[in-house]
Amino acid sequence: MNVIYALDEGEQRFNELKRSTGARSKTLSDALEELVENDVVTRRMEEDAPVAVYYGLTRKGEELLDALSELDEWAQSWGKEVPDGPTARF
């Protein structure tokens, strides 16, 4: 999720994402690979010297970010009213 929130500001290179998310290289690499496979994140490579790889949100990723933001707003509004544990409904 941190990757999706970090990419809200626009395209970022791997090390920029690493710094902004605090993720380890392997963890971030695995997450990015899965997000690219699921068409949530784009991967763009510039082959100029030095080679640069940029990651950004797809339209699907932007819509996911919108949904997560709405869920966050809901949690902020209702979070204090959620009971501590399951309750019986009779």
3-state secondary structure 27-52: HHHHHHHHHHHCCCEEEEEECCCCCE
Q: How many domains does the chain divide into?
A: 1
Q: What pLDDT is stored for residue 90 in this prediction?
A: 44
Q: Which residues neighbour 39 within 8 Å (Cβ) at sequence distance 6 or greater? A: 58, 60, 61
43 found inside a domain: yes
Question: How much is the pTM?
Answer: 0.79
- Domain of residue 70: give its range: 2-77
- Cβ proximity of 12 and 54 under 8 Å: yes
Strand partners, 56: 42
49 found inside a domain: yes
Domain with 67 in it: what CATH number? 1.10.10.10
Q: What is the pLDDT of residues 25-57, one digit of tens each?
A: 999 999 999 999 999 999 999 988 788 999 999
Check whether 15 has a pLDDT greater than 90: yes
Distance from C-alpha of 16 to C-alpha of 89, rounded to nearest angstrom: 48
